[in-house]
Amino acid sequence: MEFLPQIDTDMILVLPSGENTIENAIWRSLWAFQNQKMYFIDYQITRIRGSIAAEVFINQMQQLLQALVQVKKT
């Protein structure tokens, strides 16, 4: 995880493994976090496998991206 600050990225998607993921100092040092471009996806998706999991993940991504587009329009 220590290499993350070296990665140049505009947005980060995270599947948090606990309630305190957001408190991590490394996350907080990232440009994406500081500019509110870090998004959390439901960790429970990792419990299911196959096409159902893929469909749920894609649906969540579509909702996230649609929300981002709506925010940019306003």
> Residue 1 pLDDT > 70, yes or no?
no
Q: Identify whether residues 1 and 28 lie together within a single domain.
A: yes
What type of residue sits at position 13? Answer: L
User: Across the strands, what pairs with 14?
Assistant: 40
Which backbone phi and psi does 62 adopt, to 5 degrees? -60, -45
48 and 36 both lie in a single domain: no
Give the whole-angstrom CA distance, residue 17 versus residue 56: 18
Residues 12 and 32 in one domain: yes
Please check whether residues 19 and 52 belong to one and the same domain.
no
Distance CA 70, CA 63 (A): 11
Determine contact, residues 4/28, Cβ cutoff 8 Å.
no
pLDDT tens for 3-53 read 777 777 777 878 777 777 777 788 888 888 888 888 877 777 667 777 887
pLDDT of 58 higher than 80: yes
Same domain, 51 and 68: yes
